[in-house]
Amino acid sequence: MNKPALRIAFAGTPDFAASHLDVLINAGYNILGVYTQPDRPSGRGKLDKPSPVKSLALDSNLPVFQPQSLKSDAAQKQLEELDLDVLVVVAYGLILPQAVLDIPRFGCINVHASLLPRWRGAAPIERSILAGDAKTGITIMQMDADLDTGDMLLSSATPIQADDNSANLTARLAAIGQKALLDVLKQIQSGTLSPCPQDNKQSTYAAKLSKEEALITWDKNAMEIQQQINAFYPRSPAYSFYKGQRLRITQAVAQASTMAIEAGTILQFDQAGLIVACHNSSLLIRKIQLSGKAEISIKDFLNGHRDYFAAGTMLSSSSIQD
């Protein structure tokens, strides 16, 4: 006899979460409710904007719940009334107290964008790139009351390529996460889960990236700077200063060439890009963004601003330049 369909609710907020909700909808899962953060002011008009998860849920005629917190008795009673087997959580952004974790029959499962226990916390994708990790992945875990410490239900890895930035790595991890989530739900349905505890001694913390960390200091190795640029793109591009103006750098490639010249010095520039001296290396900058302007390739920029850059001038970590 076939077991009854799982009674599921989903909790998530950004695009990454919405892609996982979408795969559950398309797979025909019995989704009884969708939790997402309250609408936030957005854009120049600062009008309240629904999250990507809310927009998808409404388009799919799913009930949407937007509590400010899940700590209140009212919010927990509302969740209890759904009579859930499992709550799927993907980048929700609100804390789930133990009382909530205990409500679904099979608990709450989380899709986390790292190979736990490495990079517990809010920014695992960005931190893995910034640290120069060789690989990352998706971990589906059984949630507990601590931060990303629950038993692992499934892990799936992917290499981090030198040209991976936060945008394309997020997209790849979303695809991996969708498949992994479906696999885990099938295991829950069939009773074949094999939880594996995390090794807490191997844990690292993925704090949100700060604006201060986006500032480039040129006395680092070019590969470190490339990783910094890739980690911050596209949300908050890494930047330097040139002629006293902020210069965001959105795409660059580390070069092996070295010269006995001060770090930050522009060595040469042409249609291929702008080459800048770093510590024992150099960086080929391919795309930039000036304040108030759109992202542009060096090739296209030079077509309209041929005399803007000059060999021997400096990129600096300060807006005050000699």
Q: Tell which of 184, 206, 228 closes a domain.
A: 206
Report d(CA 157, CA 125) in Å as an integer.
13
Report d(CA 258, CA 71) in Å as an integer.
57
220 and 183 both lie in a single domain? no
Report d(CA 262, CA 180) in Å as an integer.
48
186 and 129 both lie in a single domain? yes
Structurally, the chain folds into a number of domains equal to: 2
- Residue 284 three-state SS: strand
pLDDT, tens digit (0-9, with 9 covering 90-100), for 25-82: 999 999 999 999 999 887 777 788 999 999 999 999 999 999 999 999 999 999 999 9
Within a domain: 315: no
Q: What is the pTM assigned to this prediction?
A: 0.94
Give, in order, the Cα–Cα distances in Å from 259 to each of 41, 219, 264, 281: 49, 13, 12, 8
291 and 160 both lie in a single domain? no
Q: Tell which of 153, 180, 206 closes a domain.
A: 206
Q: Tell which of 186, 206, 226 closes a domain.
A: 206
Across the strands, what pairs with 215?
Answer: 239
Res. 320: pLDDT tops 70: no
Res. 1: pLDDT tops 60: no
223 and 176 both lie in a single domain? no
What is the extent of the structural domain holding 242? 211-304
32 and 76 both lie in a single domain? yes
134 and 240 both lie in a single domain? no
Within a domain: 1: no
The pairing of beta strand 108-112 with beta strand 86-90: parallel
pLDDT, tens digit (0-9, with 9 covering 90-100), for 297-316: 999 999 999 999 999 999 99
84 and 193 both lie in a single domain? yes
Within a domain: 317: no
CATH of the domain at 283: 3.10.25.10
So what's the pLDDT on residue 303? 93
So what's the pLDDT on residue 42? 79
